[in-house]
Chain A
Amino acid sequence: MKALKKRKYRRVNRREDYLSSMLLLLPYLLLFSLFIAIPVLIAIGLSFTYFDVIRTPELVGVSNYIALLTQDEIFLKYIIPNTFKYALIVGPGGCILSFVLAWLVTQIQAVPRTILTLCLYMPSMVGSLMIQVVWKTIFSGDQRGLLNAFLLSHGWIDSPVAWLLSPDHLLTIMILVALWQAMGIGFLAMIAGILNVNEELYEAAYMDGMKNRFQEVVYITIPSMKPQMMFSAVMAIVNAFNTGWIGPALAGSNPTPDYSGNLILNHIEDYAFSRYEMGYAAAISVVLLLMIAFFSKVAGKLFTEKD
């Protein structure tokens, strides 16, 4: 009797369950397909065409990719070195900075910690508007710029330096601003991770002869935090490669002087919105995607736990 009852319940349940599950899944699935999946497929498709937004796209095969890798001078001479320099410093650098600051912040009590965390997180909440206003003022090229005023008054330079307009300095300034903003969600994730490490591990290690805090961090804290570090690393990499607004925002012009502040994203925007060559722009974005995927995999390998 009991067994029969159970079976009947299960059968009705399964179909109902399937239907209601699909219903729950549907809104997101729909929106995702419409606004993310399908556009991406269209973009990939466009990368094999010549499309100037006015006439219908004409298929050109892989010539976009070939042109990109062999003929695009700006891409090869400026964009790629800039992007790699920027992404590899801001990505891993931002991650390491986040970790160091997160560790420092967990060594103090809860109340000061919350205040300091807020201070450190604040730059990442700031939008591009504020960045322009503040940093442009600090690095402004005339003697009224804060940095110039400071250096001039101390006699370290003779005449004001146009920081944001000089090809040598722009990229460095961009990297600085990016690192300033780097303490975002990844930072919070790290703090949470460090706070959550099992205390008994530390005690056991100290009893086993571990001598100082540096060892403590390397042998216990970091290995226990692998999931959070991976999350943080992937977010940092993706964000670093996908940034493009800092250069033109600081320099005030697009393209930046001598292409020194142009990253791969600017290049895509250039071709898509200024030159109306959507096909080519799409090809560049596919290349960008492959780069991000590659580095994400690397980060994944570094931080995945070996079960």
Chain B
Amino acid sequence: MAKSKSKLKGKRVDPKSFSRDQIKFYCILIPIACLMVLPVVYMFNEAFKPLGELYAFPPTLIAKEPTLGNFKKLFELSGTTGVPMTRYLLNSVFITTVTVILNIYITVACAFVLSKKGQYRVTKWFFGINQMALMFVQVAVAVPRYIMIVRLGLIDTWAAHIFPLIAMPIGIFLMKQFIDDVPDALLEAAYVDGAGNFTVIRRIILPMTRPAVATVAILTFQSAWQATEASNNFITSDVMKTIYYYLNALQTNNAVAARGIVAAGTIILFIPNLIIFICMQSRVMSTMSHSGIK
């Protein structure tokens, strides 16, 4: 008995202490991690290189003469339409924030019904349809979506950015699985005490499903921040476009001259993603580990 216990000590999953056994894992993981991170590091440095160094040969990894010039140029660049960069940034921030908040409420509400109100037939088949929607390719529905937006009179409005992004089937999927695990008895008690559905969601479901909410928030953030469909198809006035779309266009049109600027822009785009992920990643793991993902 003692033998098998000590055998298991260093070999466990999620070890509490360091043991020599683990060195071989580090040997494999660290080079791979470096490989993964290297391009990102390179990208980071690109933004700080003056134009001359960008095209130097042999190419350098770490910037030899770091400068903030690229960032300065980026903000001074107002494009041919006279719209300042900060406006695009503001657009993106506004759209993303509103989308994330609305998405959370709508997703939790819907997932709650799908999970706990199985007695109504509607809920059962709707979840199935939602699952199928996960498999759809965006491009195929681009033109029909455009038709919908036109018919609804939403061209060139904030709603055109926000509404299509809120319907996120994967959010519903994750939330529903998580809410499935909230014990029914708890809800029954609440109902007996006179709570209505809205109160139950606010007081019980939301606090108990924080990890899943965090995950949905991250996923929504990532997709909203990088969304170009609205700026591309539904918005005509430049003032309303997002910074992601703007920088993309910049990259495509001035690949050579604006390389440093684009690199600077890419960092600005990447940083919020990174920060949010670091803050929420433990919650995300906690969501995934829930047996409810069945």
Contact = CB atoms under 8 A, between A and B. Distances in A.
A168 interface: no
B133 interface: yes
A23 B294 CA distance: 27
Contacts of A305: 294
B164 A35 contact: yes
A135 B17 contact: no
Contact of B135 (A120, A149, A292): A292
A31 B167 CA distance: 6
Interface stretch (A11-19, A74-82, A83-91): A11-19
A121 B277 contact: yes
Contact of A129 (B13, B34, B42, B247): B247
A191 B196 contact: no
A119 B288 contact: no
Nearest to B105: A27
Interface string A59-96: 00000000000000000000000000000000000000
A119 B197 contact: no
B32 interface: yes
Given A109-B17, A133-B263, A281 B4 contact: no
A171 to B, nearest CB: 20
Contacts of B58: 149, 153
A282 interface: yes
Interface residues of A, dominant DSSP: helix
Interface residues of B, number: 103
Contacts of A286: 140
A122 B14 contact: no
A155 interface: no
A293 B222 CA distance: 25
A144 B57 contact: yes
Interface string B17-50: 1100010011011101111110110110010000
Given A43-B144, A108-B25, A227-B291, A242 B164 contact: no
Contact of A25 (B113, B191, B287): B113
Contact of B32 (A120, A185, A242): A120
Contacts of B35: 180
B144 A42 contact: yes
Nearest to B17: A109
A162 interface: no
Contacts of A22: 113, 122
A175 interface: no
A154 interface: no
A151 interface: no
12 contacts: A22-B122, A25-B126, A32-B133, A43-B140, A125-B277, A133-B262, A134-B42, A189-B288, A206-B7, A231-B293, A244-B139, A268-B137
Interface in A6-56: 13, 16-18, 20-22, 24-25, 27-29, 31-32, 34-40, 42-43, 46, 53
A181 to B, nearest CB: 9
A272 B167 contact: no
A127 B270 contact: yes
A119 B36 contact: yes
A192 interface: yes
Contacts of A195: 13-14, 285, 289
A196 B55 CA distance: 49
Interface in A270-289: 272, 278, 281-282, 284-286, 288-289
B39 A110 contact: no
B157 interface: no
Contacts of B18: 109
Given A18-B120, A127-B270, A29 B126 contact: yes
Contact of B140 (A18, A112, A138, A285): A285
B185 interface: no
A127 B17 contact: no
Given A35-B163, A112-B26, 20 more contacts: A24-B112, A31-B163, A34-B148, A34-B163, A35-B148, A42-B144, A110-B14, A114-B281, A118-B281, A119-B37, A127-B269, A135-B39, A189-B293, A206-B7, A227-B293, A242-B138, A272-B140, A272-B143, A285-B140, A292-B135
Interface in B125-169: 126, 129-130, 132-145, 147-148, 152, 163-164, 166-167, 169
A39 to B, nearest CB: 4
A293 B133 CA distance: 11
Contacts of B17: 109
